[in-house]
């Protein structure tokens, strides 16, 4: 049904906020429904977040793991896409408000704006230990990592040089493990022959995890295997260790009441997350409960308590199966299934049918460690090593949205695998633009930065 | 000869400033010479500038047309690479000074720092009409172009919407022609079905050129063919037209004393260039002559007058063959040949041999217009159309430095060609980083920007 037909028929309006896995899968599943869909995102592209660490370590380009939302939903004739940021909800009038002040009426609202970093209340750490959630985060991380090697090459004081070659990754979940593995490979193989004054294989990569093992949501023996693989790659894994302070050049960690100060110029954050601001907006508008990190506690059908037409899905939702107090994890498959579920629910409701509660089907977990090791847990079978790595590669390429991305990523990976090269290790800096950004073309305040002098 | 051997033998030290075509070809040609080479660049990568417009229009990623300098010169054992910016020269002491204050002694100095934009004395235009010289420039241009379509989609006022869909490209040289062609293709094919409220094929692309034809350095009939191809793609070509003013939202042009005001939100600059700051530094240190745009007028052997061991090559050099007053153009093949020439000259001088003056061998010119049209001038033969396009593709892929870049670019182009898709059309913005940049890891003032609030 085309947008014109939709307009004439006055079909229900489904507004989806966020074009990540949850929002995108909901939109795709509503493609042929008798509804009008509006998908709103701050960005014009869908990002394949699980591979962001590959951008941060110079293997892939941002565009390789991104697809323009308009290109993906090109054939969804009932769907309009808007670039914008939602700030508020009026449940009475059934409207949302954009940052620009524009308002959009909805019949059904699906909120899927995800999570951001959380520094356990130490917001001042944010400037010192960047996290990894957006393309810009990844480019900043890439800049920090490759600048550290360049700075070490120029440094004559051995102690200072040492600090440039110390990398600390905070958080032993999948992102932290994958990041640490990629860093180790970078230092020990890729950059090995690239510098004249430093030996990059002397770089130390430290992975810090608070609980007693890495990949805590995985079975114990896979955590063991992951740790062993990391150590073989040259990563030092410190479990039961908490970061107690991050200052310029020094990270303080604590393990069993013993404090240690680590001199390092590069701290990368892969630890806590907190809900995006839409969580607060929903709580304010609906009185719904938020959990400790600000996620919205949802009903069995993913709706917000008392509001049968407002849904929260993906990382922003705190959903637990009945009889099981533990919320399901914030991973891509959950978001995909939730998006599809809510789309089906809306279609069934419109057809006057009843709806079963949401059930997450766990097909397994994957994490990769360096060049040819990974761990896979499919529930009925767990394995690790090269076969797991192949499975990981296959799954990740399979879920890349567009065909050309699949092809390019496959080639980049094949090439990187056999050569250990990383072609995308550009140190970029907006201040090195030769002309400053104008203000004539900013979209509703989405301004570019002003030029400032740069010395290198 | 390894760097250690080089140090012990006290061989001459060749310092190359700039890792573009000139500097890189000089370094590569000195790879086996009995010299120590230091290549200094502000960036850690070599950029294939002729394809920057493909990044600006969303076809390629920055990393596809960039190669890490360390990776390229990996096997040059006599070569050290430094990330840094050269600020000054002391010819007496034979030293250069970095922005950090560090000094480096040279026996031979090769300066190849290129050119930047020039707004004919109207520096205030810079913020309104970005140019295209760096990766960051291209990303900013891409942001402006794709934001314009997004803004048009949201705009209800037809006049304002019109202004968002008007694109003005200033300058009818190869960059301007290629940019205008790519923009036309984008609006008329790629984005055609992607928007609900606007018809992107109504976008107007205006190419403004001051002289009487586009591609002025080419033969007359190829200029005609280029103009025709552009018009077939939907570009309006205005020759003999000067830009007299650029304000927010309005460009004023003048053609045969008739002034016209064009309402547009997107002005892209592909007109004048001016020499990089090193030109001034050389003039100050050596008293050498600079031309109108600040390029250094060099001797027949590319040295600076009175300084047989200081050379200027590439876009920064103003070189004319003897008996021919006209300087040779600022294109990649000139820079490559000059880099190789100076390397040979140094080797010959060290061997006590005499040196012939530099002669540029012109193998021809190429420019591409949209999807399958290009113009080629090889001197003995000129042609245009699809065959010219294939020649252009071949030459550009051939000169991409690294094998994986060639492969990826070939696939991207093949894919783009058959689908007219552009997968790399990301609107990115450093302010959308979830964590602000720190200052703990800046390299000698190469700071990242502070986070500022963003509304979309």
CB contact under 8 A, B438 and A130: yes
CB contact under 8 A, B434 and A63: no
Return the pLDDT at B318.
Answer: 97
Q: How far is CA B343 from CA A338, B29, B74, B295, B358, in A?
A: 63, 6, 18, 21, 12
What pTM did the predictor assign?
Answer: 0.86
Q: Tell me if residue A178 is catalytic.
A: yes
pLDDT tops 70 at residue A446 = no
Residues 6+ apart with CB under 8 A from A107: A12, A13, A14, A35, A94, A309
Write out pLDDT tens, residues B140-192. 999 999 999 999 999 999 999 999 999 999 999 989 999 999 999 999 988 99
Q: For residue B448, give the nearest of A143, A146, A411 by CB distance.
A: A143
Q: For residue B440, give the nearest of A197, A249, A445 by CB distance.
A: A249
Residue B8, SS3? helix
* Segments of A361-456 assigned E as strands: 365-369, 373-377, 382-385
Distance between alpha carbon B138 and the CA centroid of its chain, in Å? 10
CB contact under 8 A, A45 and B426: yes
Q: If you average pLDDT over residues A323-338, what whole number do you get?
A: 89
CB contact under 8 A, A63 and B426: yes
Going by C-alpha positions, the residue among A89, A140, A137, A95 that lies closest to residue A116 is A137
CB contact under 8 A, B150 and A445: no
Q: Which two tokens stand for residue A126?
A: 């944010």
Distance between alpha carbon A135 and the CA centroid of its chain, in Å? 9
Task: For chains A and B, count residue pairs whose Cβ atoms are closer than 8 Å.
Answer: 309
Write out pLDDT tens, residues A87-113. 999 999 999 999 988 999 999 999 999
Best of B40, B42, B54, B68 to mutate (most A CBs within 10 Å, chain A): B68
pLDDT tops 70 at residue A4 = no
pLDDT, mean over chain A: 87
Q: Are B46 and B65 in contact (CB under 8 A)?
A: no
CB contact under 8 A, A435 and B127: yes
State how far the Cα of A57 lies from the Cα of A189, in Å rounded to an integer: 13
Distance from A354 to chain B by nearest Cα, in Å?
A: 33
Terminal-to-terminal C-alpha distance of chain A: 56
Distance from B222 to chain A by nearest Cα, in Å?
A: 31
Measured between beta carbons, which residues in chain A are less than 8 angstroms from residue B133?
Answer: 434
Q: Which two tokens stand for residue B419?
A: 């689908």
State how far the Cα of B138 lies from the Cα of A437, in Å rounded to an integer: 11
CB contact under 8 A, B42 and A432: yes
Return the pLDDT at B451.
Answer: 35
Distance from A8 to chain B by nearest Cα, in Å?
A: 15
Distance from A191 to chain B by nearest Cα, in Å?
A: 8
B229-B190-A401-A42 Cα dihedral, nearest 10 degrees: 130
Minimum mean pLDDT among A10-19, A118-127, A149-158, B416-425: which range? B416-425
Q: For residue B83, give the nearest of A66, A439, A456 by CB distance.
A: A456
Return the pLDDT at B288.
Answer: 96
Q: How far is CA A333 from CA A171, A219, B412, in A?
A: 21, 19, 29
* Residue indicated by tokens 């010959």: B348
Which residue is catalytic, options B85, B155, B178, B338? Answer: B178
| Alpha helices, DSSP H, located in B351-385 | none
Measured between beta carbons, which residues in chain A are less than 8 angstroms from residue B150?
Answer: 44, 83, 443
Measured between beta carbons, which residues in chain A are less than 8 angstroms from residue B194?
Answer: 68, 70-71, 74
Write out pLDDT tens, residues A293-319. 999 999 999 999 999 999 999 999 999
Closest-CA residue of B relative to A150 is: B83
Measured between beta carbons, which residues in chain B are less than 8 angstroms from residue A402?
Answer: 423
In this prediction the ipTM stands at 0.82
Measured between beta carbons, which residues in chain B are less than 8 angstroms from residue A143?
Answer: 448
Minimum mean pLDDT among A210-219, A241-250, B4-13: which range? B4-13
Q: Are B94 and B106 in contact (CB under 8 A)?
A: yes
Q: Are A290 and A277 in contact (CB under 8 A)?
A: no
Residue A127 pLDDT grade (very low, low, confident, very high; cuts 50, 70, 90):
confident
Write out pLDDT tens, residues A247-281. 999 999 999 899 999 999 999 999 988 999 999 99
Q: Are B69 and B21 in contact (CB under 8 A)?
A: no
Q: Which two tokens stand for residue B334?
A: 């000139």
Which residue is catalytic, options A85, A178, A185, A209? Answer: A178
Best of B441, B447, B454 to mutate (most A CBs within 10 Å, chain A): B441
The crossing angle, in degrees rounded to 10, of helices A403-419 and B403-419 is 170
Q: How far is CA A384 from CA A12, A32, A266, A398, A414, in A?
A: 48, 41, 30, 20, 20
Closest-CA residue of B relative to A441 is: B265
Q: For residue A438, give the nearest of B130, B425, B449 by CB distance.
A: B130
- Over its length of 456 residues, how does chain B's per-residue pLDDT go in tens digits? 455 555 556 899 999 999 999 999 999 999 999 999 999 999 999 999 888 999 999 988 898 888 889 988 988 999 999 999 999 999 999 999 999 889 999 999 999 999 988 888 888 998 899 999 999 999 999 999 999 999 999 999 999 999 999 999 999 998 999 999 999 999 998 899 899 999 999 999 999 999 999 998 788 888 998 999 999 999 999 999 999 999 999 999 999 899 999 999 999 999 988 999 999 999 999 999 999 999 999 999 999 999 999 999 999 999 999 888 789 988 889 999 999 999 999 999 999 999 999 999 988 777 777 666 777 887 777 787 777 777 877 788 877 777 667 777 777 777 766 666 676 778 876 655 554 444 333 333 333 333 333 333
pLDDT tops 90 at residue A244 = yes
Q: For residue B421, give the nearest of A154, A404, A443 by CB distance.
A: A404
Residue B128 forms beta bridges with which residues?
none
Q: For residue B440, give the nearest of A128, A191, A456 by CB distance.
A: A128
Measured between beta carbons, which residues in chain B are less than 8 angstroms from residue A131?
Answer: 434-435
Return the pLDDT at A418.
Answer: 67
Positive or negative, the CA dihedral A152, A155, A156, A157 is negative
Residue A3 pLDDT grade (very low, low, confident, very high; cuts 50, 70, 90):
low
SS3 readout for A372-389 = CEEEEECCCCEEEEHHHH
The crossing angle, in degrees rounded to 10, of helices B174-185 and B220-233 is 20
A432-A433-A434-A436 Cα dihedral, nearest 10 degrees: -120
Write out pLDDT tens, residues B409-441. 777 777 766 666 676 778 876 655 554 444 333
Burial class (CB in 10 A: 0-12, 13-18, 19+), B213: middle
For residue A101, is it left (φ>0), alpha (ψ between -120 and 50) or beta?
Answer: left
């Amino acid at each position: 049904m085309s947008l014109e037909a939709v307009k004439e028929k006055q079909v229900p309006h489904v507004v989806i906020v966020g074009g990540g896995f949850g929002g995108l899968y909901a939109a795709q599943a509503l493609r042929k429904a008798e509804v009008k869909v509006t998908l709103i995102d701050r960005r014009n592209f869908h990002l394949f977040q699980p591979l962001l660490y590959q951008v941060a370590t110079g293997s892939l380009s941002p565009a390789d793991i991104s697809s323009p939302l308009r290109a993906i939903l090109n054939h969804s004739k009932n769907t309009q896409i808007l670039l914008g940021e939602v700030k508020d909800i009026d449940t009475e009038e059934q409207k949302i408000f954009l940052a620009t002040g524009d308002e959009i009426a909805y019949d059904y609202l699906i909120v899927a704006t995800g999570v951001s970093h959380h520094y356990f209340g130490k917001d001042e750490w944010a400037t010192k230990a960047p996290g990894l959630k957006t393309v810009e985060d990844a480019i900043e991380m890439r800049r920090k990592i490759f600048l550290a090697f360049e700075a070490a090459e120029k440094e004559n004081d051995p102690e200072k040089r040492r600090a440039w070659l110390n990398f600390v990754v905070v958080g032993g979940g999948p992102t932290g493990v994958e990041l640490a593995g990629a860093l180790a490979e970078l230092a020990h193989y890729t950059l090995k022959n690239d510098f004249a004054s430093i030996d990059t294989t002397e770089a130390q990569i430290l992975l810090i995890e608070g609980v007693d093992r890495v990949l805590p949501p995985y079975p114990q023996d896979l955590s063991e295997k992951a740790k062993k693989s990391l150590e073989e790659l040259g990563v030092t894994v410190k479990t039961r260790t908490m970061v107690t302070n991050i200052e310029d050049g020094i990270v303080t960690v604590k393990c069993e009441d013993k404090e240690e100060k680590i001199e390092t110029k590069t701290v990368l954050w892969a630890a806590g997350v907190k809900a995006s601001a839409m969580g607060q907006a929903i709580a304010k508008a609906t009185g719904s409960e938020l959990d400790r990190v600000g996620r919205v506690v949802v009903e069995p059908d993913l709706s917000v308590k008392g509001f049968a037409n407002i849904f929260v899905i993906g990382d922003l939702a705190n959903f637990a199966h009945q009889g099981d107090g533990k919320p399901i994890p914030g991973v891509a498959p959950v978001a995909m299934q939730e998006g599809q579920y809510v789309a089906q629910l809306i279609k069934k409701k419109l057809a006057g049918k009843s709806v079963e509660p949401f059930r997450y089907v766990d097909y397994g977990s994957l994490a990769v460690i360096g060049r040819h090791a990974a761990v896979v847990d499919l529930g009925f079978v767990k394995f690790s090593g090269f076969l797991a790595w192949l499975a990981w590669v296959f799954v990740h390429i399979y879920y890349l949205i567009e065909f050309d991305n699949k092809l390019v990523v496959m080639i980049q990976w094949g090439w990187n695998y056999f050569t250990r090269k990383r072609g995308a290790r550009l140190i970029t800096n907006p201040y090195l633009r030769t002309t400053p950004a104008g203000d004539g073309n900013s979209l509703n305040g989405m301004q570019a930065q002003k030029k400032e002098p740069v010395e290198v």
